[in-house]
């Protein structure tokens, strides 16, 4: 039982490049989330999904897109990366008791 | 008023000390409350849920005051391993997501 996994763990991009972060969970959770964490800013919700095929905007959605084609996967896309998107990205899924389980994070640097 | 507010600290305490963290939240309709722990460069992990009647888990005690919209975490007999950032968490108005405070940093020294 791997819980929540994220790939890649680290990535360096140049401004304007695109990439997709993958999150996978094997706990059969309906709800999944993408956060970013920056020094002094705490965890901020980017997008979330309440089930397969559904997505919704969080607090800081601009510059990101998401897809939830399969229940176990939640993808976060950056179409044209900017230095302001340098951050640590965490994915999480939620059980029916509202406990959220986080992945280990992806450290992204945009030059 | 921010949705979840915490004193960022840092709190620097010796081993064996008792330390308390406080948190206030703005949404009176919130129904779910938690404390998460985050170690340096790691993902947040659930420390404990917070119930209306208050709850205890070993050296950790959590309290909720709905009237004042206030949550607390008490750590007794602090250990070096308690050094971490503690995040206060409440659910959003729709109940679809959790809102995280910025965290309170605790450093326990020998």
Tell me, what's the pLDDT at B9?
A: 87
- Residue B48 predicted with pLDDT over 90: yes
Phi, psi of A56, rounded to the nearest 5 degrees: -150, 155
Using CA atoms, how far residue A103 sits from A17, A19, A97, B3, B26, in Å, is 24, 18, 18, 24, 28
DSSP A29: -
pLDDT top residue among B30 and B14: B14
> Cβ of A58 under 8 Å from any chain B Cβ?
yes
Rounded CA-CA distance B30/B66 in Å is 9
Please answer yes or no on whether A104 and B42 come within 8 Å at the CB atom: yes
Using CA atoms, how far residue B47 sits from A26, A69, A98, B66, B76, in Å, is 22, 32, 13, 20, 15
- Residue B1 predicted with pLDDT over 70: no
**Residue from the list A40, A56, A102 with its beta carbon closest to the beta carbon of B43:** A102
Tell me, what's the pLDDT at B92?
A: 85
Q: Which residues of B touch A (CB under 8 A)?
A: 32, 34, 42-46, 49, 87, 91, 96-103
Tell me, what's the pLDDT at B94?
A: 82
Classify residue B109 as left (phi > 0), alpha (psi -120 to 50) or beta. beta
Percent of chain A with pLDDT over 90: 89
At residue B39 the predicted structure's pLDDT band, cuts being 50, 70 and 90, is very high
- Residue B17 predicted with pLDDT over 70: yes
What are the pLDDT digits (tens) for B51-103? 888 899 999 999 999 999 999 999 999 999 999 999 999 998 888 889 999 99
Strand-pair partners of B13: B108
Tell me, what's the pLDDT at B2?
A: 73
């Amino acid at each position: 039982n791997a819980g929540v996994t994220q790939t890649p763990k680290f990535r360096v991009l140049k401004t304007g490049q695109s990439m997709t972060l993958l999150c996978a969970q094997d706990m059969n959770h309906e709800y999944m989330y993408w956060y970013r964490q920056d020094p002094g800013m705490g965890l901020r919700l980017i997008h979330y999904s309440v089930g397969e095929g559904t997505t919704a905007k969080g607090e800081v959605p601009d510059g990101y897109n998401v897809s939830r084609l399969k229940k176990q996967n939640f993808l976060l896309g950056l179409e044209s990366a900017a230095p302001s998107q340098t951050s640590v990205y965490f994915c999480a899924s939620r059980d029916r008791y509202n406990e959220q389980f986080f992945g280990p994070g992806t450290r992204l640097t945009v030059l | 008023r921010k949705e979840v507010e915490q004193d960022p600290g840092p709190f620097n305490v010796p081993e064996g000390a008792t330390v308390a963290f406080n948190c206030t939240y703005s949404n009176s309709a919130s129904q779910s409350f938690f404390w998460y722990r985050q170690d340096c460069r790691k993902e947040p992990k659930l420390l404990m849920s917070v119930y209306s009647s208050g709850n205890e888990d070993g050296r950790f005690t959590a309290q909720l005051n709905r009237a004042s919209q206030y949550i607390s975490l008490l750590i007794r007999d602090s250990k070096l391993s308690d050094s971490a950032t503690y995040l206060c968490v409440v659910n959003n108005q729709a109940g679809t997501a959790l809102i995280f405070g910025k965290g309170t940093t605790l450093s326990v020294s020998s």
